[in-house]
Amino acid sequence: MKYLFYLTFVIFLSVSSCKKETSTIVFQDTLVSNDQLWPIDSSSTEIRQYYQGHYSIRVDSPEIIDYSLAPYSTINFPYTVQVDGIAELDDPSQWGAIAIVFNYADHNDYDVAEIWANGTYRIWTRINGNISTLVNFTYSADINTGSGTKNTVKVIQNQSAMQLVINGFSMGTFNLALPSSLVQTGPATATAGSQDYTPVTGLFNNFSIAKN
């Protein structure tokens, strides 16, 4: 009986010590239909539109990333951004990626987490227009591969570091601090360089921003 009481007490302590989820959703959009909030436009190489129940970003030029910023007021707090994304490649044998642009201050200052259809992820930054790679192409078995497959991507940006989570699995925590300036975030589509290039259409749903 004493042993049973002790076991029950230990279980109670373990449950009591578990941390509760503290993130608070501040913006979310299923992106299944045009609510006239997200950019709808096109150029010679990029198209943003709603397409068959998705928000779509298509890129038709090598080594380009095209993004849409969420229609939410600028962020000045640690935050989490998440989206479901599908990369449709015109040539399934080539490369293409969906991505999240985060910590966006202006077109010369932002960070990017890319998830490529070949099962790799990459994290890079642009500061004063200069690009540097934080994590180069890294394979993960937790990434769903191939053209037309869905991946759920989450970036958790805390004060001094960020964490990348794909399909519920952490890719790691990285030394990337929250900028002091106000920032924005949103989904993106990226194409490869000329050797592995094919046009790519990113299809997005269930976008959200939460306050950590």
pTM given for the model = 0.89
Residue 171 placed within a domain: yes
Q: Is the model's pLDDT at 12 over the cut of 70? A: no
Residue 145 placed within a domain: yes
Residue 49 placed within a domain: yes
Closest CA to 162 of 65, 74, 81, 71: 81
Residue 2 placed within a domain: no
Q: What is the pLDDT of residues 186-208, one digit of tens each?
A: 999 999 999 999 999 999 999 99
Q: Which residues contact 4 (CB under 8 A, 6 or more apart)?
A: none
Please report which helix (H) or strand (E) contains residue 14, including its range. helix 2-17
Residue 15 placed within a domain: no
Q: What is the pLDDT of residues 66-122, one digit of tens each?
A: 999 999 999 999 999 999 999 999 999 999 999 999 999 999 999 999 999 999 999
More confident residue, 2 or 23: 23
Backbone φ, ψ for residue 18 (5° rounding)? -65, 135
Q: How many domains does the chain have?
A: 1
| Buried b or exposed e, range 159-191, using 16+ CB within 10 angstroms | eeebbbbbeeeebeeeebebbeeebbbbbbbbb
Residue 11 placed within a domain: no
pLDDT bin (cut points 50, 70, 90) of residue 2 is: very low
Q: Is the model's pLDDT at 158 over the cut of 80? A: yes
Q: What is the pLDDT of residues 163-193, one digit of tens each?
A: 999 999 999 999 999 999 999 999 999 999 9
CATH number assigned to the domain comprising residue 109:
2.60.120.560
Residue 71 placed within a domain: yes
Q: What is the pLDDT of residues 119-153, one digit of tens each?
A: 999 999 999 999 999 999 999 999 999 999 999 99
| CB neighbour class for 37 (10 Å; exposed up to 12, middle 13-18, buried from 19) | exposed
Residue 156 structure tokens = 């958790």
- Parent domain of 162: 23-211
Residue 120 placed within a domain: yes
Q: How many residues does the chain have?
A: 212
